[in-house]
Structure 1
Amino acid sequence: MSDVLNPPESAEGSTSVPLKPLGKVVAVTSGKGGVGKTFVSANLAAALAKRGHRVLVLDADLGLANLDVVLNLYPKITLHDVFTGKAKLEDAIIRAPGGFSVLLAGSGMVEYSRLTPEVRDDFLRIMAGLVPHYDVVLLDTGAGISDVVLFAVSLASEVLVVATPEPTSLTDAYATIKVLAGQQKRKIIRMVINQTARLGDGRAITTQLQQVLDRFVTSEDGKQLRLVHMGDIPADNSVRQAIMRRQLLLQSMPGCPAAMAISQLALKIEETVAPKAA
């Protein structure tokens, strides 16, 4: 892991080449906010935990963290306390409903809205301390293509982009994917389409995005970026009910269509990055 912890730097102190992604780390990201990224992260973690995996979700949206709200948690110690040396990493990790662990960030952390060398080093130190202890680490990143978001994504071996069928979401998802292909040389990006109206809508959307990428995005080695459709999460009134109650959908309404779709997504993620449970 030494090459991960000591990436080359430019003269300004920023990473000059993509970092080697850490194994079994999945970045859950999106082009825009409001598409259900944190909802997917939390419930995906619960589904993976139910399958016997040790799972941790790290709230990597350092400026606008809301994983604590989704899970109805009130942490006494946050990632901010670990970054500033006020608390140990193990003291900041708490058990969430659903049988997985979380490391929560404090909202409004303005000092972490930019990728300074200090923020980068703190992030790397935290990840090095976390990854060996879990089967899967999910990074619930911020939305968009800020340097902090892109850095968090660069630490993952797999990227899951969450989008909805809305044109603005798809436009921003395309922009995000294009940046990831160009800056991080990603060859495979996984897609989940949330709030679909009909069966098959998500696959059709992923196919359309792939066609646009094939036309306009080319890599240095000539190989095309491949989008992998991981599934649809259907529009479901149960989702809104669970969010308003600050409950995990997989716990409150495990038999609803959206919960079943997330369980199927967990199976595909397991096949991709997680070792089989003993």
Structure 2
Amino acid sequence: MNPITTMLETSGDKKAWVMAVTSGKGGVGKTFVSANLAAALAKRGHRVLVLDADLGLANLDVVLNLYPKLTLHDVFVGRCKLEEAILPAPGGFSVVLAGSGLVEYSRLTPEVRDKFQSVVASLIPRYDYVLLDTGAGISDVVLYALSLADDILVVATPEPTSLTDAYATIKVLATQQRRRQLRLVMNQVARPGDGKGISQQLQQVIDRFVSTPAGDPVKLVHLGDIPSDPSVRQAVQKRQLLLESLPGSAAALAVKAIAGRVDALLERV
């Protein structure tokens, strides 16, 4: 069981829904999805925080055009309290940003594990949603961040390399963390319906080759597609949230629809 869930259930504190946003490979728009999904959830009236869980290679600050004086690294080394590292972000949500180029976070030490868990546990009672913007791939640091989440959202694009790495990530999560259900968002989709078709094909492969150690099947829930849209590149180059700069664009409307489905998932929990 998630160690944070056990801790909070014992204490009786209200618990946010923790969703980790991850990908098998970099460059698929994972951080773009994390930031804009947070803005869409905030616009639905929720208290939302995004924690940059890409320790050492963080770029959430770039996407949001923020220049933090204090980061998660400062919290870890005791230079500041967690409250001092929480910043307001454009879009009406909060963030805790991580440092970049910090080699000490390239592997999961017991100290990093304990401090990471403590930070997430401290954030959960304060928000409705905590989104973990993880690194790409299946390093031990990424897998530990994923283990702290109630739900995992995998971001992929239609390219074969992205789908292959997404499949590998799903397989590892099923076998190592006994995840029986994961969410999928297809980004940069060329035509309506393409993402759903790809998701179904990926599910067929998972049905044949992936199960939990107990033999349980693994279900991939397709939350929606984000179309290939030039407005995304414009927003990223300007270091702006798409939902703030071009809220009526096709990609922004797709993210809003995904936020609605995320909300519906939480209502059924």
Alignment partner, residue 180 of structure 2? 187
Which of the pair is proportionally richer in helix? Answer: 2
Distance change >3 Å, CA 5–CA 111, structure 1 → 2:
farther
Alignment partner, residue 152 of structure 1? 145
* CA-atom RMSD in angstroms: 1.9
Distance in 1 between the 2:21 and 2:236 partners? 18
Alignment partner, residue 10 of structure 2? none
The residue correspondences of 1:29-40 to structure 2 (distance < 5 A) are: 29-40=22-33
Identity %: 70
**Deviation, structure 1 residue 128:** 1.1
TM-score by length of 1: 0.91
The correspondence for 1:50, drawn from 43, 59, 72, is 43
**Deviation, structure 1 residue 23:** 5.6
Distance in 2 between the 1:141 and 1:216 partners? 26
Distance in 2 between the 1:157 and 1:67 partners? 21
TM-score by length of 2: 0.94
Alpha-carbon displacement from aligned partner over 1:189-233 (angstroms, at most 9, x marks no partner): 000000000001111111111100111112233321000000000
Tell me if the contact between 1:163 and 1:170 (Cα under 8 Å) persists in the aligned partners: yes
Tell me if the contact between 1:26 and 1:159 (Cα under 8 Å) persists in the aligned partners: yes
Secondary structure, aligned partner of 1:156: coil
Distance change >3 Å, CA 101–CA 220, structure 1 → 2:
same
Distance in 1 between the 2:6 and 2:222 partners? 34
Tell me if the contact between 2:16 and 2:125 (Cα under 8 Å) persists in the aligned partners: no
The residue correspondences of 1:205-216 to structure 2 (distance < 5 A) are: 205-216=198-209
State whether structure 2 residue 59 is matched by structure 1 residue 60.
no
Tell me the number of residue pairs that the alignment of Structure 1 and Structure 2 aligns: 262
Q: Which piece of structure 1 moves more, 209-218 or 82-91? A: 209-218
Alpha-carbon displacement from aligned partner over 1:120-179 (angstroms, at most 9, x marks no partner): 000011011100000000000000000000000000000000000000000000000000
Secondary structure, aligned partner of 1:170: helix
Secondary structure, aligned partner of 1:90: helix
Alignment partner, residue 18 of structure 1? none
Unmatched tracts of structure 1, length 5 or more: 8-21
Amino acid at match of 2:185: V
Tell me if the contact between 1:29 and 1:140 (Cα under 8 Å) persists in the aligned partners: yes
The residue correspondences of 1:14-163 to structure 2 (distance < 5 A) are: 24-163=17-156
Tell me if the contact between 2:16 and 2:126 (Cα under 8 Å) persists in the aligned partners: no
Which consecutive aligned stretches of 4+ in structure 1 deviate over 6 angstroms post-superposition? none
Tell me if the contact between 1:136 and 1:274 (Cα under 8 Å) persists in the aligned partners: no
Distance in 1 between the 2:242 and 2:35 partners? 9
Distance in 2 between the 1:91 and 1:66 partners? 20
Tell me if the contact between 1:5 and 1:125 (Cα under 8 Å) persists in the aligned partners: no
Distance in 2 between the 1:243 and 1:61 partners? 18
**Deviation, structure 1 residue 270:** 1.1
Alignment partner, residue 240 of structure 2? 247
Secondary structure, aligned partner of 1:75: coil
Alignment partner, residue 15 of structure 1? none
